[in-house]
């Protein structure tokens, strides 16, 4: 049983997983750790590739009662029986996605390091807001979501908040008191043993 005061874990798929072995790797992680949600986050824009990946990952996640959302493509979420969508553009598409997917779908919004965007996404009906990266990263413009953003959000806003990007055991320990979820992606998939990497990163939550 999950501790309601302990942040939950949320997995982000690699951008180009091999469907030959990734479903088995994902299954091992889901069988070995308590995971709240998986996000299908692929670099491709090919509808057929996305559809095949959605079906393969859905089979693994739903067999274990784990929700599956897809990055951006909310029309594919409905078509492939997924649980919702993760929107990378803050509040801009939240209402449209909600109208398309219905009230029961998960609609999440990534808001970078912007409190303003996060508030707007929550007011538009997002089920969660994510901020990041939370550690130093050469990606994007180099901006980082500060710890005090999470502290303020957890005190003032009821919408659940997700910390993601450049996570390390130290960053997990620092943010554990002020976030609801940690979203882990390449931090674990680049390791030879993703489950071991996940356990190392989440040890601070034990």
Q: Which residues pair with 54 in a beta bridge?
A: none
Is residue 83 helix, strand or coil?
Answer: coil
* 94-104 per-position pLDDT tens digit: 999 999 999 99
The predicted structure's pLDDT at residue 23? 98
CATH classification at residue 74 = 3.20.20.70
The predicted structure's pLDDT at residue 187? 96
Contact 5, 178 (CB under 8 A): no
The predicted structure's pLDDT at residue 127? 98
- pLDDT tens for the chain, 206 residues long, are 356 679 999 999 999 999 999 999 999 999 999 999 999 999 999 999 999 999 999 999 999 999 999 999 999 999 999 999 999 999 999 999 999 999 999 999 999 999 999 999 999 999 999 999 999 887 777 789 999 999 999 999 999 999 999 999 999 999 999 999 999 999 999 999 999 999 999 998 87
The predicted structure's pLDDT at residue 54? 98
Q: Which pTM value belongs to this model?
A: 0.95
In a domain, 16, yes or no: yes
In a domain, 1, yes or no: no
In a domain, 95, yes or no: yes
Give the strand pairing for 128-131 and 106-110: parallel
The predicted structure's pLDDT at residue 138? 77
User: Which range marks the domain in which residue 200 is found?
Assistant: 8-205
* 6-52 per-position pLDDT tens digit: 999 999 999 999 999 999 999 999 999 999 999 999 999 999 999 99
Exposure of 170 in the CB half-sphere (CA atoms within 13 A): 3
In a domain, 2, yes or no: no
The predicted structure's pLDDT at residue 142? 77
Instruction: Sort 24 into a burial class: Cβ within 10 Å, 0-12 / 13-18 / 19+.
Output: exposed
In a domain, 73, yes or no: yes
In a domain, 111, yes or no: yes
In a domain, 3, yes or no: no
Contact 88, 110 (CB under 8 A): yes
In a domain, 150, yes or no: yes
The predicted structure's pLDDT at residue 4? 65
The predicted structure's pLDDT at residue 1? 39
Residue identified by tokens 């931090």 is 187
Q: How many domains does the chain have?
A: 1
Cα–Cα dist 37/69, whole Å: 8
Q: How far is CA 55 from CA 19, 61, 79, 123, 138, in A?
A: 10, 10, 10, 32, 33
């Amino acid at each position: 049983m999950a501790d309601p005061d302990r942040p939950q874990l949320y997995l982000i798929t690699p951008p180009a997983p091999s469907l030959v072995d990734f479903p088995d790797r994902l299954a091992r992680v889901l069988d070995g750790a308590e995971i709240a949600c998986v996000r299908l986050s692929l670099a491709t824009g090919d509808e057929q590739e996305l559809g095949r990946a959605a079906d393969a990952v859905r089979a693994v996640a739903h067999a274990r009662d784990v929700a599956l959302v897809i990055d951006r493509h909310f029309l594919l979420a409905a078509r492939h029986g997924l649980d919702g969508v993760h929107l990378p553009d803050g509040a801009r598409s939240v209402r449209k996605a909600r109208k398309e997917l219905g009230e029961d779908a998960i609609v999440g919004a990534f808001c970078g390091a912007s409190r303003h965007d996060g508030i707007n996404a929550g007011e538009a009906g997002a089920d969660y807001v994510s901020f990041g990266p939370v550690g130093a990263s050469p990606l994007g413009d180099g901006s980082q979501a500060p710890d005090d953003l999470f502290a303020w959000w957890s005190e003032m806003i009821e919408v659940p908040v997700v910390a993601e990007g450049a996570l390390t055991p130290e960053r997990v320990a620092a943010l554990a008191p002020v976030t609801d979820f940690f979203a882990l992606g390449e931090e674990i998939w680049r390791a030879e043993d993703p489950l071991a990497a996940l356990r190392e990163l989440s040890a601070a939550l034990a």
